[in-house]
A = this chain, B = another copy of it.
Amino acid sequence: MNGDPKATKSLGRAARKSVPQNPVNMAGTKPNIKEAEDPSERVYRDIAKAVLEQRLQPGTKLGEQLLCEIFNVNRPVIRRALMRLSYETLVEIRPHRGAFVASPTPLDARQIFEARRALEDWVVRICAERIDPNALQSLTQHVAIEQEARLSDDRVRWIRLSGQFHLELAAATGNSRIQRYLEDLIAQTSLIISLYGGAERVACEDNDHSEIVAAIARADADHAISLMRAHLAACEAGLSFEEKGHATDLRAIFPVSGKR
């Protein structure tokens, strides 16, 4: 989430007198700001979330009209959301063809994991060096929630929490840029696991997370880093780049060969 603290949409202080009978929303208390949030923001968030939770599989076509009906918005709104998603390489827009959920290649996967290693090494080191007690508390609690979700077999929730752990770690460094980049990489990791993931298709093991937190709590940077390295390596090692024969891929690859 790219929290936008500046989007305060301050509607005019003085009520405009153009309409005398202006049903002012009970002034006095906190002016319930209309928020007037860009609807494309919601569309973007929902689609990104679906990708993150592996409910949207790579190669899925995202037709504009269909999305309009689903979200009850106009096409430019959809278009903006898709454009933003394409900027984060979560969807691929092919001119005059449409938008599709991105399908990272094995090479992409390698680069993404490499980038994650580069960033998360730094994140873990910073966390171990200067960790806010509150943040540490929050992390510990998060790991507990994760375990609970895993035990209760709530797969979608588990996946979401799994990725969120890494994000909270990044957030704990206080560097919003690194956090944003890691958001991007984690979302694409979801795609990669959707494509090349093994049997259970999980992102992370719980135990790894709790051990990392423990090492951070001990301010043992080196150990925390090696744990994170092993964690990501295990995740990457669990991929199998052979099973690429999904139907969606075939349709994306062969434009028209079919008849039925």
CA distance A36 to B95 in the complex (A): 9
Q: A6-B94, A80-B83, A259-B13 are in contact. Are A118 and B122 (CB under 8 A)?
A: yes
Which residues of the partner chain B approach A67 to less than 8 Å between Cβ atoms? none
CA distance A112 to B174 in the complex (A): 12
A240 in the interface (beta carbon within 8 A): no
CA distance A6 to B184 in the complex (A): 20
Q: In chain A, residues 148-167, which have Cβ atoms closer than 8 Å to a Cβ of chain B?
A: none
A40 CB, nearest partner CB in chain B, Å: 10
Q: How many copies of the chain does the oligomer comprise?
A: 2
Beta-carbon contact of B118 and A178 below 8 Å? yes
Contact among B111, B121, B122, B257 for A175, CB-based, below 8 A: B111
Contact with B along A89-127 (1 / 0, CB 8 A): 000101100000000000000011011001101100000
Beta-carbon contact of B83 and A255 below 8 Å? no
Beta-carbon contact of B177 and A10 below 8 Å? no
> Taking CB as reference atom, which chain B residue is nearest A114?
B175
Contact among B84, B118, B122 for A83, CB-based, below 8 A: B84
Beta-carbon contact of B177 and A92 below 8 Å? no
Binding site for B on A (CB under 8 A): 6-10, 13, 36, 38, 80, 83-84, 87, 92, 94-95, 111-112, 114-115, 118-119, 121-122, 174-178, 181, 184-185, 255-257, 259-260
Between-chain CB contacts (< 8 Å), 30 pairs: A6-B92, A6-B94, A7-B95, A8-B255, A9-B95, A10-B255, A10-B257, A10-B259, A10-B260, A13-B257, A13-B259, A36-B95, A38-B95, A80-B83, A83-B83, A83-B84, A84-B87, A111-B175, A114-B175, A115-B175, A115-B177, A115-B178, A115-B181, A118-B118, A118-B119, A118-B122, A118-B175, A177-B184, A177-B185, A181-B181
